[in-house]
Chain A
Amino acid sequence: MKIATEAVTAENRRIELLRRIADEGGAIAPHPDPQTKHGYEYRGLTEGAERDLQFLTEREYLDARFFDRVSLCPKCQSHHLNVREICPGCRRAQLATEVLLHHFRCGYTGRVSEFASNHSGEGGYTCPKCNRQMRHLGTEYDRFGRTSVCRQCGLSCEDLPVEAVCLACGTRTLADNLTSIDLFAYAITALGRATIRNGALFESDDQMLFVGGLRIYRRRVMIEFLRQEMRRLARFKIGFSLLMEECLGSAADDDHQEHCLSRLCECLRDTDLIGQLNDTLYAVILPQTTLKEAEALRQRIWARLGPQPPLTLTAVEVKEPIEIDQILARGNTRSAPD
């Protein structure tokens, strides 16, 4: 059995991992488990699968979404930590919350216990400094937030340091100095599904550039192209336009999606670059193209796609250098097509 496991190549192992994720419904997320090292586990996956998940995510077979952050003891990497606020003076955790009152008339500020409560039925307090009654909160006196006071050394403080004690090894560490790791939920991408069908990873030069089976650039390539256009715009003031295309419906309509994309590609010029930004979002870079020209192209593609195509198509002109994220955000908020 051991020999058989060792015989499995890294590629086969990764494809198997993709298949398992596909069997789980196309996505996996960590589940809490206090017995494990980091407090979470990916059910159904073997130990050490994290490295393969990372490998597949880097190559866009999987889409990683932040799930949670786990703090660990920097010494033993245990997640069994007792986290609490401590006194910055004596480093002990015997703290109490204290409310201060402030008398407007004389300015006296002190603990509630320092102000004698009025027991004559009228409520309120009596100020220890000027001996006047304080009946109305907000007009005669006020509460000064909440501060913490150390029962050991008497230090009052508002911003208490947070310290974690490792229950496994006893190490005391300030919260800022804890080791932390990010956990992700993974979803299989169109490329991942294509890999399962293909039975091999798309790792040749060509496959590194293009989404499997199509002349559509991968996300990281596309973002690099966008950056390059931004640089050109910043230096030579040459603007460009973008066509943002989002496929509607489920990702399972791969055939129809492919059909639409191939029609779209037929309408593009040699200099236009089309790429995938996520599972359903595609962008076309139209270099040195005004919004008017881009809009004409959009109309032409729209006519070519036939009645009620399952996608939205928006033209955007970029005349000033902006962040790539803003472009992506524009794509995500575009309006419905005409």
Chain B
Amino acid sequence: MTGFFQYFLGVLDPSAIFGFWRALPELMASAYIPWWLLGVLPVARWFLPDMVCWLVYLVEPAVIRPPLRVHARQAEPLVSVVIAGRNEAASIREAIRASLLCGYRNIEVIFVDDCSDDDTIAIARGAARSLLPHTTERIRIFSSPRRNGKASALNIGIRMARGEFIAIIDGDSAIQYGAMHHWLLPFTDPRVGAVAANLRVRNSTASLVTRLQECEYAFQVTMARLAAARLGLLTIIPGAGGLFRAEILRRLGGYDTGLGDDTDLTIKLRKQGWKLGFSVDAIVWTDVPATLRRLCRQRKRWERNMVKIRLSKHRDMLALGRYGVGNAVVMLDLLIMRITFPWVAAVGLLAFALMDGPLSAPALLIDIYWIYLVWLFVKALISRDIAFTPQPHYFLLLLVYPFYKLGLRAAVMSAELAELLRIGAKHPYVPDHVWQETPWW
């Protein structure tokens, strides 16, 4: 029992990290394979891009955050904001309001209600009337008579859109004022097919879980996507904030039904050779799950979708080189860093910890905790410097952030396993009649 307490108290001792710093030169000079695989590789993958971005930002900020040059007489292409949602009564008004009043004049909003049980449609129509009492062409509302899932609702919206560009956002998201001009900026390059928005957590003050998600979004959405987009390795145009060239969406026939529609569409774009962009200043505020249970459910769904879409539906991407070097790197990253590495690390650490009996190697875990923490603080500072997030008073939360990530990682690993074994693939997000027709990837 005493040993048990000592073990946990040891976690509070930051001096544990000094042992690591002393051993670092020796480790770097060694050919110890586990060190290189489990130590150096993840740092290179998850930390180096941030550091490089930051250094570039310090030297030439315009490379990371291209300046906006809007002239009064500059032609603004029509942008159609498509919002699809079901039972979004609490947030749809704000989503419509923010889209219409985002500071971009040539915009239309299309809301497709996926057969809501609540009064979403009435609220949306009320919002339309109150925001634009004289004309209705800038906002159009459609209601599906039968629930067909989000992808189908989005396809209806895409079908109705007239814009040169189509922005897809969720019913619980809101476009930041002024964001649309930044969002459109990467399209000056004709090779860019879609641009991901910078998703920020709107309800970050709702609970500890949402505060932690703000930190997580700063690292994994803002910084990770910024670096990935610059390297041409962006793998997701999120459903909560993505801007597409309309002709591409129409040519692809919109989203496919089933889960993971945004991942699927992104992979299709990548396969067709379109460049995918990311704009730090195209901020879209979104609500995140406020409870741990709902968060785990969301992340498990995302992970299952990722495995299903990228490893099953688009398994031809595994033929490395077939779709170019970038896609080969993306697939290798997925296989090695996102799937294999967490499992190897988990099994390795467990084996190491149990080598001489349960919890006999606390020093290693404590070292990893403190190293991770230092790494997190540096990442947070970089993210704060470039993207102004997370908020400084959330920095203290980073002390518990490793445990939050550990719990989430355990949840998503179980989801990966379930998807690979095809256990419980059916998800209530997709209605039964659509699920029965959807191909089993």
B160/A147 in contact, CB under 8 A? yes
A104/B438 in contact, CB under 8 A? yes
Query: A156: which of B136, B143, B152, B159 is its contact (CB, 8 Å)?
Result: B159
With contacts A145-B145, A157-B140 taken as known, whether A109 is within 8 angstroms of B152 at the C-beta atoms is yes
Q: Confirm or deny: B69 has a beta carbon within 8 angstroms of a beta carbon on chain A.
A: no
Q: What 0/1 pattern do residues 261 to 276 of B give for CB contact below 8 A with A?
A: 1000000000000000
Closest to B148 in A: A102
B256/A107 in contact, CB under 8 A? yes
Q: Which residues of B are found within 8 Å of A110, using beta-carbon distances? A: 159
B160/A107 in contact, CB under 8 A? no
Q: Confirm or deny: B202 has a beta carbon within 8 angstroms of a beta carbon on chain A.
A: no
B162/A107 in contact, CB under 8 A? no
Total interface residues on A, CB under 8 Å, equals 29
Q: Which one of A102, A147, A161 has the highest number of Cβ atoms from chain B below 10 Å of its Cβ?
A: A102
Q: Which residues of B are found within 8 Å of A100, using beta-carbon distances? A: 156, 159
- Per the 8 Å Cβ criterion, residues 194-242 of A in contact with B are none
Q: Which residues of A are found within 8 Å of B152, using beta-carbon distances? A: 102, 104, 107, 109
Closest to A104 in B: B437
Query: A109: which of B146, B162, B254 is its contact (CB, 8 Å)?
Result: B254
- Within the assembled complex, what's the spacing in Å between the Cα atoms of A299 and B2? 87
Closest to B140 in A: A157
- Within the assembled complex, what's the spacing in Å between the Cα atoms of A129 and B140? 25
- Within the assembled complex, what's the spacing in Å between the Cα atoms of A163 and B146? 30
Q: Confirm or deny: B130 has a beta carbon within 8 angstroms of a beta carbon on chain A.
A: no
Query: A106: which of B142, B159, B256 is its contact (CB, 8 Å)?
Result: B256
With contacts A139-B433, A144-B144 taken as known, whether A106 is within 8 angstroms of B257 at the C-beta atoms is yes
Kindly provide the distance from the CB of A86 to the nearest chain B CB, expressed in whole angstroms.
Answer: 10
Kindly provide the distance from the CB of B177 to the nearest chain A CB, expressed in whole angstroms.
Answer: 25
Kindly provide the distance from the CB of B133 to the nearest chain A CB, expressed in whole angstroms.
Answer: 9
- Per the 8 Å Cβ criterion, residues 163-185 of A in contact with B are none
Kindly provide the distance from the CB of A192 to the nearest chain B CB, expressed in whole angstroms.
Answer: 43
- Within the assembled complex, what's the spacing in Å between the Cα atoms of A108 and B255? 8
Query: B438: which of A105, A154, A157, A158 is its contact (CB, 8 Å)?
Result: A105
Q: Which one of B125, B144, B155 has the highest number of Cβ atoms from chain A below 10 Å of its Cβ?
A: B155
Q: Which residues of A are found within 8 Å of B142, using beta-carbon distances? A: 145, 147, 158
Q: Confirm or deny: A140 has a beta carbon within 8 angstroms of a beta carbon on chain B.
A: yes
Kindly provide the distance from the CB of A209 to the nearest chain B CB, expressed in whole angstroms.
Answer: 45
Q: Which residues of B are found within 8 Å of A161, using beta-carbon distances? A: 136
Q: Confirm or deny: A142 has a beta carbon within 8 angstroms of a beta carbon on chain B.
A: yes
Query: B156: which of A88, A89, A106, A109 is its contact (CB, 8 Å)?
Result: A109
Kindly provide the distance from the CB of A213 to the nearest chain B CB, expressed in whole angstroms.
Answer: 52
Q: Which residues of A are found within 8 Å of B160, using beta-carbon distances? A: 147, 156-157
B253/A108 in contact, CB under 8 A? yes
B159/A145 in contact, CB under 8 A? no
Q: Confirm or deny: B206 has a beta carbon within 8 angstroms of a beta carbon on chain A.
A: no
Q: Which residues of B are found within 8 Å of A106, using beta-carbon distances? A: 253, 256-257
A107/B136 in contact, CB under 8 A? no
- Within the assembled complex, what's the spacing in Å between the Cα atoms of A100 and B160? 11
B144/A107 in contact, CB under 8 A? no
B254/A108 in contact, CB under 8 A? yes
Q: Confirm or deny: A159 has a beta carbon within 8 angstroms of a beta carbon on chain B.
A: yes
- Per the 8 Å Cβ criterion, residues 126-171 of A in contact with B are 128-130, 138-140, 142, 144-145, 147, 154-159, 161
Q: Confirm or deny: B189 has a beta carbon within 8 angstroms of a beta carbon on chain A.
A: no
Kindly provide the distance from the CB of B145 to the nearest chain A CB, expressed in whole angstroms.
Answer: 5
A108/B438 in contact, CB under 8 A? no
- Within the assembled complex, what's the spacing in Å between the Cα atoms of A217 and B149? 62
Q: Which residues of B are found within 8 Å of A88, using beta-carbon distances? A: 135-137, 140
- Per the 8 Å Cβ criterion, residues 116-134 of A in contact with B are 128-130
Closest to A149 in B: B160
Q: Which residues of B are found within 8 Å of A144, using beta-carbon distances? A: 144-145, 156
Q: Confirm or deny: B420 has a beta carbon within 8 angstroms of a beta carbon on chain A.
A: no
- Per the 8 Å Cβ criterion, residues 120-168 of B in contact with A are 125, 135-137, 140-146, 148-149, 151-152, 155-156, 158-160, 162
Q: Which residues of A are found within 8 Å of B158, using beta-carbon distances? A: 109
B255/A107 in contact, CB under 8 A? yes
Q: Which residues of A are found within 8 Å of B253, using beta-carbon distances? A: 106-108, 128-130
Q: Confirm or deny: B434 has a beta carbon within 8 angstroms of a beta carbon on chain A.
A: yes
Q: Confirm or deny: B439 has a beta carbon within 8 angstroms of a beta carbon on chain A.
A: yes
Q: Which residues of B are found within 8 Å of A147, using beta-carbon distances? A: 142, 160
Kindly provide the distance from the CB of B108 to the nearest chain A CB, expressed in whole angstroms.
Answer: 9
A158/B256 in contact, CB under 8 A? no
B145/A89 in contact, CB under 8 A? no
Closest to A89 in B: B137
Query: B257: which of A89, A105, A140, A155 is its contact (CB, 8 Å)?
Result: A105
- Within the assembled complex, what's the spacing in Å between the Cα atoms of A159 and B156? 15
With contacts A108-B253, A129-B253, A145-B145 taken as known, whether A140 is within 8 angstroms of B437 at the C-beta atoms is yes
Kindly provide the distance from the CB of A141 to the nearest chain B CB, expressed in whole angstroms.
Answer: 9
Q: Which residues of B are found within 8 Å of A128, using beta-carbon distances? A: 253
List of 7 A-B pairs having minimum Cβ-Cβ separation, nearest first: A129-B253, A104-B437, A107-B257, A88-B137, A89-B137, A109-B155, A88-B136
Q: Can you list 24 A-B contacts with CB-CB less than 8 angstroms, sorted by A residue number?
A: A88-B140, A102-B148, A104-B152, A104-B434, A104-B437, A105-B439, A106-B257, A107-B149, A107-B155, A107-B254, A109-B152, A110-B159, A128-B253, A129-B254, A138-B433, A139-B437, A144-B145, A145-B143, A145-B145, A156-B159, A156-B160, A157-B137, A158-B140, A159-B140
Taking A145-B143, A159-B141 as known contacts, 9 extra A-B pairs with beta carbons closer than 8 A to each other, sorted by chain A number, are A88-B135, A102-B148, A102-B156, A104-B148, A104-B437, A130-B253, A138-B433, A157-B140, A159-B136
